[in-house]
């Protein structure tokens, strides 16, 4: 009995001490013992963060190692994509090319917002004259392809690389504003004009407030409410064009058994974003023998014969017309070629100095910038379009750095003084710092160009009728995504928002 009473006493004492230690609830720091999210203990906030959500139309592409470069015979004899093994980190990518509808929404929104700056809208307009040809009757497409509802779900074309960059910036801000609205932090504000429009970085730096519904609780000693911070993990990273390595990795979709791996030893590769060495569906079902992409099968053959059309499109086709690849991405071969982020250089993969240090997320085109700050270290006032100002990092400030010495490294080891390779634009070559990589074949290309390893280039301020784009986004944190990686968050919360503001 005595031992039993002692045991009961010890259990009671333990329970009492634990309850005292956790009085008021909340998690404690495992390094200092202080309580998180408690004003009495300083108010340091620690989130119960569930991970990055997928934005609308984005698909998580789980990263990995693959052999980047040509898989087909180099029929052009350019040797501009020598195979080499690289690793690509997990990222998000649009499951489809950007459609005419999506781009028209963009045009509508910036025309409505930037009333005092009509050139913003004019500069964003696609070049519809790309459809003209001296010896072809394509004039109806000049008027109809972008504007007529019959082409709403077709890929936008006539958009140059610079215009695609601006679309990505707009999409970042509109999507993040929508997230804040769905969370009940901001109210919808259709009256945004000129500089008074939601910009993600301006909002995070307190240069835009918006129509506030209810800010977050401030758990610091000051208390009250506060705006969303970057550290809250609510806002998504920037939309952007995929890098060449990301695009090629996503197109090949070497996933699961299709990776033909044995103890992580990659022994084979795909010619195209599907298995096999032809563009026809091979499984024995009702689709057997069907064409798998929209491309030019031969001279003068864009879609086959009447009554037996192969790809059913003499020009670009709908963005979800064919089977997606194993990552769930549509038209990673055919339909339209696509802009990627990289500056074009023909010696990619050849430089011995490059090979060992740039085999993780390889990319050419960096131009490092920083926020323009005032004398107090705060960002200067945003510009007339509501965006924060950035300046190129001065090389003189990088002398003591070990990881990089220059801010503009587009020509790094290929076109600079250390490489002994110089590009005389207009004299001996058409390659310059404006040349951007194009990936994937189009509706007007032969099958060879549908192989993800092939690459071409075009000046960033030029466009074409067979050229479109899709967006990408980094994956923050772990390489494996959440259960919801298909944008369902937006669909469900969108319904709630409609009920809320009905």
Q: How many CB atoms lie within 10 A of CB 384?
A: 11
What's the pLDDT score for residue 16? Answer: 46
What's the pLDDT score for residue 479? Answer: 85
Report residue 328 as tokens.
């769930």
Spatial CA neighbour of 55 closest among 496, 488, 502, 469: 488
Residues paired with 390 in a beta bridge: 371
Report residue 260 as tokens.
């033909």
Give the contacts of 97 (CB within 8 A, at least 6 positions apart). Answer: 155, 156, 319, 330, 331, 335, 336, 338, 468, 469, 470
225-226 vs 216-217, strand pairing mode: antiparallel
Tens of pLDDT along the chain (502 residues) come to 656 556 555 555 445 444 444 444 578 988 998 999 888 888 888 888 888 999 999 999 999 988 888 777 777 767 777 888 899 999 999 999 999 999 999 999 999 999 999 999 999 999 999 999 999 999 999 999 999 999 999 999 999 999 999 999 999 999 999 999 999 999 999 999 999 999 999 999 999 999 999 999 998 888 899 999 999 999 999 999 999 999 999 999 987 655 555 566 665 578 888 888 887 877 767 677 688 899 898 898 888 889 888 888 899 999 999 999 999 999 999 999 999 999 999 876 555 454 445 889 999 999 999 999 999 999 999 999 999 999 999 999 999 999 999 999 998 888 777 766 778 777 778 889 999 999 999 999 999 999 999 999 999 999 999 999 999 999 998 888 765 444 445 544 444 433 333 3
Report residue 367 as tokens.
């131009």
E strands, 382-471, are: 390-392, 435-439, 455-459, 467-468
Q: How many CB atoms lie within 10 A of CB 214?
A: 11
Q: How many CB atoms lie within 10 A of CB 467?
A: 25
Residues paired with 323 in a beta bridge: none
3-state secondary structure 109-174: HHHHHCCCCHHHHHHHCCCHHHHCECCECCHHHHHHCCCCHHHCCCECCCCCHHHHHHHHHHHHHH
pTM of the predicted model, to two decimals? 0.88
Residue written as token pair 């009554």: 307
* In the chain, where the domains are located: 58-183+234-366+409-481
Report residue 89 as tokens.
């980190």
CATH code, residues 58-183+234-366+409-481: 3.90.1580.10
Backbone angles phi, psi at 75, to 5 degrees: -70, -20
Determine the Cα–Cα distance for residues 315 and 335; give it in Å rounded to an integer.
8
Determine the Cα–Cα distance for residues 318 and 99; give it in Å rounded to an integer.
9
What's the pLDDT score for residue 117? Answer: 97
Determine the Cα–Cα distance for residues 75 and 58; give it in Å rounded to an integer.
34
Determine the Cα–Cα distance for residues 145 and 101; give it in Å rounded to an integer.
11
Determine the Cα–Cα distance for residues 496 and 328; give it in Å rounded to an integer.
27
What's the pLDDT score for residue 348? Answer: 66
What's the pLDDT score for residue 9? Answer: 54
């Amino acid at each position: 009995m005595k031992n039993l009473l002692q045991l009961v006493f010890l259990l009671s004492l333990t329970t009492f001490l634990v309850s005292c230690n956790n009085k008021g609830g909340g998690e404690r720091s495992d390094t200092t013992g202080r309580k998180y999210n408690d004003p009495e203990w300083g108010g340091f906030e620690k989130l119960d963060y569930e991970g990055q959500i997928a934005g609308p139309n984005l698909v998580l592409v789980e990263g990995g190692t693959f052999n980047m470069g040509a898989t087909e015979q180099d029929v052009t004899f350019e040797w501009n994509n020598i195979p080499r093994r690289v690793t690509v980190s997990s990222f998000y990518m649009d499951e489809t090319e950007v459609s005419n509808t999506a781009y028209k929404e963009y045009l509508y929104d910036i025309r409505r917002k930037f009333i005092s700056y009509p050139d913003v809208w004019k500069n964003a307009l696609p070049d519809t004259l790309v459809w003209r040809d001296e010896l072809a009757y394509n004039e109806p497409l000049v008027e109809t392809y972008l504007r007529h509802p019959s082409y709403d779900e077709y890929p936008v074309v006539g958009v140059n690389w610079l215009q695609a960059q601006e679309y990505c910036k707009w999409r970042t801000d509109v999507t993040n504003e929508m997230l804040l609205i769905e969370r009940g932090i901001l109210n919808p504000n259709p009256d945004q004009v000129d500089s008074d429009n939601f910009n993600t970085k301006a909002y995070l730096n307190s240069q835009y407030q918006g129509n506030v519904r209810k800010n977050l609780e401030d758990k610091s000693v000051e208390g009250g409410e506060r705006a969303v911070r970057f550290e809250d993990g609510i806002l998504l990273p920037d939309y952007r064009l995929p890098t060449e390595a990301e695009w090629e990795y996503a197109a090949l979709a070497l996933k699961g058994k299709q990776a033909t791996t044995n103890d992580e030893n990659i022994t084979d590769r795909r010619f195209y974003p599907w298995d096999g060495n032809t563009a026809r569906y091979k499984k024995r079902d009702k689709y057997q023998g069907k064409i798998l992409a929209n491309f030019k099968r031969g001279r003068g053959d864009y879609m086959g014969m009447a009554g037996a059309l192969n790809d059913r499109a003499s020009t670009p086709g709908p963005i979800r017309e064919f089977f997606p690849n194993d990552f769930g991405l549509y038209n990673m071969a055919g339909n339209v070629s696509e802009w990627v982020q990289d500056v074009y250089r023909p010696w990619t993969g050849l430089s011995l100095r490059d090979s060992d240090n740039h085999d993780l997320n390889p990319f050419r085109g960096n131009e490092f910038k920083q926020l323009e700050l005032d004398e107090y270290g705060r960002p200067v006032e945003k510009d007339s379009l509501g965006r924060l100002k950035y300046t190129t990092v001065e090389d003189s400030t990088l002398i003591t750095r070990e990881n990089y010495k220059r801010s503009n490294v587009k020509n790094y080891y290929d076109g600079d003084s250390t490489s002994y390779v110089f590009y005389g634009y207009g004299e001996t070559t058409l390659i310059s710092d404006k040349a951007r990589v194009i990936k994937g074949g189009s509706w007007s290309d032969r099958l060879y160009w549908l192989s993800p390893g092939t690459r071409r280039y075009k000046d960033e301020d030029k466009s074409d009728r067979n050229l479109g784009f899709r967006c990408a986004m980094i994956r923050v944190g772990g390489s494996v995504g959440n259960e919801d990686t298909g944008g369902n968050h937006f669909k469900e919360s969108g319904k709630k928002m409609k009920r809320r503001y009905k």
